[in-house]
Amino acid sequence: MSRFFADRALGMKASDIRELLELTQRPEIISLAGGLPNTNAFPVKEIAEICQDILKNDSHKALQYSATEGIRPLRMALLDYMKDQLGVGGEVDNLIVTTGSQQALSLISMAILNPGDLILTTAPSYVGGLGAFRSYQAEIDSVAQDNEGLVIGSLEDKLKELKLKGIKPKMIYVVPTFQNPAGVTMPEKRREEMLELAIDYDVLILEDDPYSRLRFEGEEVKPVKYFDYEGRVIFLGTMSKLLSPGLRVAWMHSPRDLSRKFAIAKQSADLCSTTFSQYIAYEFLNRGYLMPHIEKIKTMYKRKRDIMLAAMDKYFPEGLTWTYPQGGMFSWVTMPEHMDSKLILMRAIKEDNVAFVIGSAFYHDGSGKNHMRLNFSHSSDELLEEGIKRLGTTLKKEMEE
Ligand SMILES: Cc1ncc(COP(=O)(O)O)c(C=O)c1O
């Protein structure tokens, strides 16, 4: 049936690890693969209470269509939250509620990308971002990343090189805090320098921030958006990792002209995000439940991070290094150059019943084979330790051969 596909659909490829990851659903497999919150982190009691109240008092609104940009009380509450938590001000026109941040990535792509437009990102970068840009036929190029996120010298060199070739990238895409996949965070100085370069070369910045509130230790770092004095940063926030990904409530905070266009794009995508979920998120914020809840899950995730890192020290063979995330959900493992995480994953699933995500999924050009992403938020404490132990066994076998 491929003759019926649009040109852009030809560029949409199922990930070559999808089948492998399907195997990870088998009950005997311990999966360190998904980027999922822990199910014990869902505030079921509070959500049940809120749902009952909404159905009793507001069902006529909550079960109805709502404004494309989102219900106004939630937009106002999210603006307050951004001001309090991130130091970022704004007007209601700057903020649109989206159906997950993943929708924001698509809407931005829909509204600003022509086929062949260039996006710059880090290597590695969030796989869902790469997918959204690709599905709108963008070209993707990458700049280096180290333990402090995007390397400014590498970005500057890339921008200069492109300018000499007459190529102007449209946007720089970053996950600057507790990055998915590497868990690393850009210091403020780099954020400011990146913004200055974006201004010099007239490029937009897309700041994707699902994880910054999940900081277990270390100094707070201000978002790139905080430094955005002239309005070229689009900021994405989401309730997925703080409250529940099933609600699909997220938001984008953008300069007003862009915001207007994104709202038009959203109209054709889904008319509005689920009204009921928006009321739940609003009430969760309004009743003051969010911040205490975040404190609770931070305690849980810090413990899990510590369990995972200690187990890696104990069970992983010599010759591997990994990141030490101060928050978020992931650690990123680097193996010797010759090792191929796809082969290791196949072996880990078949022989040792454990799974992770291979490094190359996060590289636009399929490189990064000697890396793997490990998630510590989803598994129980016991399975987390056992999963790392099993993976250590696979890695030792692989290295001995
Ligand atoms: C960096 C990043 N951006 C966006 C998303 C998508 O989040 P949402 O559930 O809000 O669509 C994720 C989810 O893992 C993510 O890690």
> Ligand 1 mean position to 152 CA, how many Å?
24
Predicted local confidence at residue 17, as pLDDT:
62
Predicted local confidence at residue 1, as pLDDT:
85
Q: Is residue 70 within 6 Å of ligand 1 at its C-beta?
A: no
pLDDT, tens only, 349-377: 999 999 999 999 999 999 999 999 999 99
Predicted local confidence at residue 24, as pLDDT:
73
Q: Average of pLDDT values for 167-181?
A: 98
Task: Pick the atom of ligand 1 nearest to 103's CA.
Answer: 11
> Ligand 1 mean position to 318 CA, how many Å?
33
Task: Pick the atom of ligand 1 nearest to 238's CA.
Answer: 10
In angstroms, the CA 258 to CA 164 distance is 28
For the chain, the straight-line distance linking the first and the last C-alpha, in angstroms and rounded, comes to 44
In angstroms, the CA 183 to CA 196 distance is 24
Predicted local confidence at residue 279, as pLDDT:
98
Can you tell me which residue has the tokens 């970053």?
Answer: 174
Q: Average of pLDDT values for 205-227?
A: 98
Residue whose CA is at the smallest distance from ligand 1 atom 14: 35
Q: Average of pLDDT values for 231-236?
A: 97
CATH T-level fold of 2-43+292-400:
Aspartate Aminotransferase, domain 1 (3.90.1150)
> Ligand 1 mean position to 394 CA, how many Å?
29
> Ligand 1 mean position to 235 CA, how many Å?
13
Residues of the chain with CATH 3.40.640.10: 62-289
**Which CATH architecture group holds 62-289?**
3-Layer(aba) Sandwich (3.40)
Residues of the chain with CATH 3.90.1150.10: 2-43+292-400
> Ligand 1 mean position to 127 CA, how many Å?
9
Between CA 156 and CA 160, with CA 159 as vertex, the angle to 5 degrees is 85
Both tokens assigned to 125: 């970068």
Task: Pick the atom of ligand 1 nearest to 175's CA.
Answer: 1
* 6, 115, 289 from 207: Cα distances, Å: 30, 22, 26
Predicted local confidence at residue 9, as pLDDT:
86
Residue whose CA is at the smallest distance from ligand 1 atom 16: 180
Inform me whether the pLDDT recorded for 54 exceeds 70. Answer: yes
